[in-house]
A and B are shown apart, each in its own frame.
Chain A
Amino acid sequence: MTTTTTATVIDALKWILADEMDLGLTADQINATVPLLEDGLNLDSIAIVELIAVLEERFAFQFHDADLRTASFANLEALAKVITARTAGREP
């Protein structure tokens, strides 16, 4: 159940990154394990602040203080796990 949810969130994240963050990539070209920061998609601090705002708006949740660590933004899998944990048990 959790795996399915995380996979769904990863797919949604790919579309958000492709559509909203102007990476010049399509959703299909984004790998869930590629780093979001250095040596990966190279999102800078501006992009991360924007991404936090976009994700909280789209998934209707708020990152907890404990989530606001660079590790949470390591790659899409890590990010999806945080989102899944924070939105678990809610009506879709």
Chain B
Amino acid sequence: MTEIARRRLNRRVSEFGPSNALVGAMTNAVGPASSTGAILWGLGVAEVKTARRLARHGVPSLQVRLGGAAFSNFDVRVETYRKHGVEYCRAAMDKLQAEQGAGSFILMGNCAAANVCLAAALADDRVSGLIMSNPHVNFAQVLGGSIGKRLFRVRTWRNALGGRTALRRAARALGAAVAASLRKAADDPARLVRPAGTFDPLRGLPDDVIARLRALSDRGVSILIACAEGDDSFHYLSRCHGRALEALQQSGRVTFERVAAQAHVFSTDDAAAELLNDAVSQWIERVVAPAIARTLRPAVPMPGTVRYPFPEVGRDAGLGPHPENPYHRQRGQDEVRL
């Protein structure tokens, strides 16, 4: 981090995490805080808007970004996400837990950060909500999303063998799909390598993404997957896992949102990114807000800061929580399950 950038870290933004590798901006809840907090990857203006929406519902949040060279250098950033993504998610949750008393967490990320959030949700029981926008998919998944499934359809081969397919046109379409995928892969050669068995968040979604989402859903985690219809992730998920996702949505905890836009990044100023942001906002209103509202308690004086007016209720010097006062239970005991 440059000295100038470091000097800016004086109000909202602070360094934290292992070796101060992360920078984060805390947004406090408006009114009484819930025991659920949110970790939002990205310090963009759109994430500020999401943080404030959550704050209005009593959810404090921490916007997080990699600091220093890990942010400004693409290769270092990818490698850092790969090696430390889950660890950094945990560090952010620890910070929010220490500073705001949050006991359960909503994780939100776009692209590779979405995959990191998925990996962290699978690894950490404290996660109760997951927002993935345009999760990163690899070359094989892009290819699978565009042509893969059609190749394995009985109808495709029946049509071809029966002479009902315009073979020249089909070959052209296949060629175009492969060429488009190769162009994308050329930007990031790592995308050519598909993960075998283990889940590397930087190499696309895991092959068994549905099983993993189901495991999270069974654990009580509410999930939003918002994909722009022009994004590779939408094609992959809808074409390769469409039915399974539909079945998963019946469980009520998983929402797969198709956004009529081309945007890939979450925090830019085109209308498409606004639509992605809107999808997240609507999910917050529909899923998060009611769950939080059920568990919020009126604000209470912090123990040790206010002298109770009735000494016979507050024991000894009249300070601290009273065991019979239901509002004086420790925060975190009643975690919100969204």
Main secondary structure of the interface of B (DSSP, over half): mixed
- Decide: A52 and B43 in contact? CB cutoff 8 A: no
- Decide: A49 and B25 in contact? CB cutoff 8 A: yes
Question: Is B226 interfacial (CB-CB < 8 Å)?
Answer: no
- Decide: B45 and A22 in contact? CB cutoff 8 A: no
Tell me which of B52, B53, B65 contacts A45 (CB under 8 A).
B65
Question: Is A7 interfacial (CB-CB < 8 Å)?
Answer: no
Interface residues as binary, A54-92 with B (CB distance below 8 Å gives 1, 0 otherwise): 100000000001001111110000000000000000000
A-B contact count (CB 8 A): 62
Question: Is B269 interfacial (CB-CB < 8 Å)?
Answer: yes
A46 CB contacts on chain B under 8 angstroms: 5, 8-9, 13, 23, 43, 65
B10 CB contacts on chain A under 8 angstroms: 50
Interface set, chain B 225-243, CB cutoff 8 A to A: none
Q: How distant is A60 from chain B, measured CB to nearest CB, in Å? A: 16
- Decide: A68 and B13 in contact? CB cutoff 8 A: no
Interface residues as binary, A5-25 with B (CB distance below 8 Å gives 1, 0 otherwise): 000000000000000011110
Report if A44-B274 is in contact (Cβ < 8 Å); known contacts: A49-B13, A54-B11: no
A21 CB contacts on chain B under 8 angstroms: 8
B11 CB contacts on chain A under 8 angstroms: 50, 53-54
Main secondary structure of the interface of A (DSSP, over half): helix
Interface residues on A, range: 20 to 34
Q: Write the chain A residue with the least CB distance to B5.
A: A46
Question: Is A47 interfacial (CB-CB < 8 Å)?
Answer: yes
- Decide: A68 and B5 in contact? CB cutoff 8 A: no
Q: How far is the CA of A83 from the CA of B63 in the complex (A)?
A: 24
Tell me which of A50, A53, A69 contacts B45 (CB under 8 A).
A69
Q: How far is the CA of A24 from the CA of B5 in the complex (A)?
A: 12
Interface residues as binary, B2-43 with A (CB distance below 8 Å gives 1, 0 otherwise): 001101111111000000000101000000000000000011
Interface set, chain B 36-73, CB cutoff 8 A to A: 42-46, 48-49, 52-53, 63, 65
B5 CB contacts on chain A under 8 angstroms: 44, 46-47
Question: Is B282 interfacial (CB-CB < 8 Å)?
Answer: no
The 3 A-B residue pairs whose C-beta atoms are closest, nearest first, are A70-B269, A45-B43, A68-B49
Return 19 A-B CB contacts under 8 Å, by A number.
A21-B8, A22-B8, A23-B4, A24-B4, A45-B44, A45-B65, A46-B9, A46-B13, A46-B43, A46-B65, A47-B8, A48-B45, A49-B12, A49-B48, A50-B8, A54-B11, A69-B46, A70-B268, A71-B269
Q: Which residues of B contact A (CB under 8 A)?
A: 4-5, 7-13, 23, 25, 42-46, 48-49, 52-53, 63, 65, 267-269, 274
